[in-house]
A and B are shown apart, each in its own frame.
Chain A
């Protein structure tokens, strides 16, 4: 099988699986749908791994393969094609592996759902779209994948379309993303205008020569063209990777079924923005201003969104805010030119966050769709596998030494520390404080869910439940299709950091994909202090982040395990802070008032006043009325008497003659 065929099959297998299981869902049945889609995604996972192996063995280098010319217009070739380098293969492998785990898990999670086949069809389609995005060799296909993953996300958030909250959330997600895409598209237009091509290779090769280009944006003020491009592209990333202030859609996206929260809204799609900026590193490296902007947005998101996580009670929302915060970490890393560190954190995060989400889902099914942690507790005895894997995921998330998240997060913090970028001091404080916050909400989640007293109550009442909302039987551990993916994700959550930190960050593994200007290269500086993964883990006890993590653990243990009253006291004593966090800084209320209601009011005003009132009422119907009025009067002249007409003709002739005399 030629390389081109292999690469084509990787996205096409899930596309075919999606079409079969979606369009012929009644013919293939439930089992047919999950077998077809799982085999498809397993196939593309295996093929991705084989491409990775070929790369590791040095059989293929950077491959830039054109598939077909989408369109040629104005001498510009718009293509569909693949760029296969280490960054792409890493993403392909992570995406297909997590997707495979989620596919298997779905058999258990969606077991009783009437939309079973539709769900598999969607997640297969998602895998296709995400692969098209990461494998692209040009901006057009990137934008296609970008919008296509957004579309599937829209369909999946609204998967339970009878729920008003779900179909609100999916529309919100799509529209907020469109705001980002608006910037993204302007960025792409600027790229085309500046470089005359949308092909990555052509654009990146020409980037250094364009450093002096400017664009006049507002009132004649000149912007550096590359800064303009980078900020526009990053606005797209802010939408997709949910960076403040375009983050508001991600917590609401939890209305979707949990498997997709894991796959789309934690592990893969939301990291597309991070991937995109890393891919565009040759452009971003030319603009310090854009990078500072990226870094500060990321730092704010990492810090502020984590804080909200502490006061949430919905288990999925806590994990969602944690995702926002971790995406903020990745963005900060991009901003300090530590692109590899961002990608590295993206990879470790994909594993442990998918694990945490799927663990949350396992709890949710055991408690019959109860998501409120206030009605959980003491599940550890009843769900041992879920409990242990959740602990592993949490340790990875808080950055406990030797776990995956430790390496990736620690490297980001160190990189920010070393960075000379404007504003990096503030960013450093944000990411270090973020460690304490992460630890707080993570252990809070563990304790409220798995430890303490049982407070089980259920939301849905059917034959399993007693009428007062109490569970009739103890919660049971989930079936194998659920627990096996948990175990398979727990393994990389422990090991992948220790195993890959050296090659990915310091071994130059991503050098073929990522460009870092020498003056910005914090990771090169960091590598001088790096003496292997084990040494780094042992060294952790001498660092501030480690002790902040321990402090968070201690506070959470004290407050949520031993003195639950303290949390209540906190909310009573500091009502202002509590309300601010509970209302998520009032972003939603503000957007709802200004943009949603405001936009509608503008539309109604233009329609009723301008269109119906002025144009139709005054101009169109008004001129019709005027014609009527004139006609009613002119009608009287049509007397039918010959002498009247003769008189009128004479008057007319005289008038014409007079006019002729006057004019000439």
Chain B
């Protein structure tokens, strides 16, 4: 059975079916969406159980001609990088449906359909092995997100959507030029063949910059990050969750799938740029997060700062190989980057859900409108504090694992990399705990807070599931890390070999 196709098309077809349920039958739309997303999640388990951890070769492959004159194929397959990210995507499928259950009252069928279709498209991005197919999924995914922000978003949603769309679209146009160039040169759209296709340094550098334009915007890296806080602030809760939890990861995945293996020499030559930008993201954005007055903006900036660890973990590999022949530590960095992506998915998703819980009740995201929430919402406070501590890298939660691995690895590259990256220990704790102090703790600040009701069973279920995930990865990251060993080893073997003919 073509598992990957099922994971892509089941939610998309399900989404279309939900759309057909129409505006009048909101209940049907909800239950159908839940059923579809749960079925997708259930099926994706066999991706985890059936995945052969001993090989770096692509698995669950599907190959079918699509547009033959341009030798474009519908080629799918996954390795140790894609599987965890696909699982993250299917995991969040039912969560956003449940999170939007009562909250969304306007055009329920369209809202649910948009998320289901988006889920399928994102699985497509992570499993596409054909360059053009990847591009199609990569761009198509923007449309439902654009609609979600534009239709269910906040007052300033038009500015935010246009900024979001133009930013990401502009970036990916450069990538498209690169992909077409690669096709013309190599005569194939096969990403894996591009990995072995020799390229001159000059060409590599241009291609690298093209990919960088697309992925740096997506992940996002400083200084092309300013679309993210605006998009988050205007997006409805579900949109923010998917944006932070999964869409940003596509940037990191792109670096792994395209930049590092297709242009290894340029990546090595320009690693200082990426490392520098990553460290700026960690430190500079950490300070910026400290100054935020809007909870969603704070978490958005915190996301950018945490994504800095992903790009840092990936690109210090080159610095490590330059320092030592054994390259010990490079794998730690790359795996740390992967763990950071998964962990940040859970934590940022949970944090945006927490803000959503408060927003649904008080209709404000301003920090100053809260204070002493723990008095009226003790269970909510429990979850919020847990996730904010995880956000500050508390050992025992998933937030620690990736940062720990990347900091340890970056010490191998340079003491100063580790020093700057390590500052997150202080900055992350400062903005996270200051938020706790101002919103959660304290005496009841105003009548809005006094009248708050604690989370209901639906909200507790969503936050509880995420809490379990965050703690499980924190206490035993082994099953997650084991998924990617072979692929990471293969990637590292690949990138140290020069492709300059």
Contacts and interface: CB of A to CB of B under 8 A. Distances in A.
A179 B287 CA distance: 15
A261 to B, nearest CB: 19
Contacts of A185: 404, 407, 422, 425
Contact of A143 (B289, B395, B426, B475): B395
B415 interface: yes
B476 A68 contact: yes
A74 B425 contact: no
Interface in B250-305: 284, 287-292
Contact of B437 (A162, A171, A217): A171
Nearest to B335: A73
A390 B46 CA distance: 65
Most buried by A among B287, B336, B440: B287
Given A186-B422, A606-B288, A174 B478 contact: no
A293 interface: no
B367 to A, nearest CB: 13
A71 B478 contact: yes
A602 interface: yes
A162 B372 contact: yes
Contacts of B412: 193
A147 interface: yes
A164 B481 contact: no
Most buried by A among B288, B289, B419, B434: B288
Contacts of A69: 478
Interface string B148-181: 0000000000000001001100000000000000
A167 B442 contact: yes
Interface string B430-470: 10011011001111000000000000000000000000000
Contacts of A216: 415
B84 interface: no
A35 interface: no
Given A70-B478, A168-B437, A179-B426, A189 B411 contact: yes
A69 B476 CA distance: 8
Contact of B226 (A178, A217, A615): A615
B117 interface: no
Interface string A138-159: 0000011011100100100010
A378 interface: no
Interface size class, chain A? 35 or more
A171 B410 CA distance: 29
Given A143-B395, A161-B441, A186-B422, A611 B481 contact: no
B395 to A, nearest CB: 4
Interface string A612-646: 00011001100010000000000000000000000
Most buried by B among A174, A181, A189: A189
Most buried by A among B331, B441, B442, B475: B441
A1 to B, nearest CB: 24
A70 B329 CA distance: 18
B182 to A, nearest CB: 25
A595 to B, nearest CB: 9
Contact of A606 (B284, B329, B436): B284
B411 A193 contact: yes
Nearest to B410: A189
B290 A603 contact: yes
Contact of B394 (A76, A151, A193): A151
A422 interface: no
B498 interface: no
B59 interface: no
A33 to B, nearest CB: 15
A70 B477 contact: yes
A174 B481 CA distance: 30
B223 interface: yes
Secondary structure class of chain A's binding surface, majority of residues:
helix
B99 interface: no
B411 A74 contact: no
Given A74-B332, A181-B425, A167 B430 contact: no
B433 A174 contact: yes
A39 interface: no
B371 to A, nearest CB: 10
Most buried by A among B394, B433, B440: B433
B375 A162 contact: yes
Contacts of B401: 71
A331 B485 CA distance: 43
A182 interface: yes
Contact of A182 (B284, B423, B482): B423
Nearest to A69: B478
Given A69-B478, A161-B441, A620-B163, A599 B331 contact: no
A276 interface: no
A175 interface: yes
Given A143-B395, A162-B442, A74 B163 contact: no
B331 A161 contact: no
B389 interface: yes
Contact of B408 (A167, A178, A188, A611): A188
A581 interface: no
B26 interface: no
Interface in B171-202: none
Contacts of B32: none
Most buried by B among A179, A193, A215: A193
Contacts of B442: 161-162, 164, 167
Interface string B234-253: 00000000000000000000
A475 to B, nearest CB: 29
A151 B389 contact: yes
A75 B407 CA distance: 17
B287 A147 contact: no
Nearest to B159: A621
A144 B396 contact: yes
Contacts of B481: 71-73
Interface string B482-494: 1001000000000
Contacts of B41: none
A158 B291 contact: no
A158 B475 CA distance: 26
A600 interface: yes
B392 to A, nearest CB: 8
Contacts of A610: 284
Contacts of A491: none
A611 B442 CA distance: 31
Interface string A380-404: 0000000000000000000000000
A190 interface: yes
Contacts of A174: 429, 433
Contact of B425 (A148, A171, A182): A182
A604 interface: yes
Nearest to B428: A178
B366 to A, nearest CB: 16
Given A161-B372, A171-B433, 17 more contacts: A71-B401, A71-B476, A72-B482, A74-B409, A147-B396, A162-B443, A182-B422, A189-B407, A189-B411, A192-B408, A193-B408, A216-B415, A599-B430, A606-B288, A607-B287, A607-B288, A610-B284
Interface of A: 68-76, 143-144, 146-148, 151, 154, 158, 161-162, 164, 167-168, 171, 174-175, 178-179, 181-182, 185-186, 188-190, 192-193, 196, 215-217, 599-600, 602-604, 606-608, 610-611, 615-616, 619-620, 624
**What are the 10 tightest A-B residue pairs by CB atom distance, in nearest-first order?**
A603-B291, A189-B411, A603-B290, A603-B287, A74-B331, A74-B332, A144-B395, A604-B291, A161-B441, A167-B441
19 contacts: A68-B476, A71-B401, A73-B331, A73-B405, A74-B328, A74-B335, A162-B375, A171-B436, A174-B429, A175-B429, A175-B430, A178-B429, A186-B418, A600-B290, A603-B290, A608-B291, A619-B223, A620-B167, A624-B166
Interface of B: 163, 166-167, 223, 226, 284, 287-292, 328-332, 335-336, 372, 374-375, 389, 394-396, 400-401, 404-405, 407-412, 415, 418-419, 422-423, 425-426, 429-430, 433-434, 436-437, 440-443, 475-478, 481-482, 485
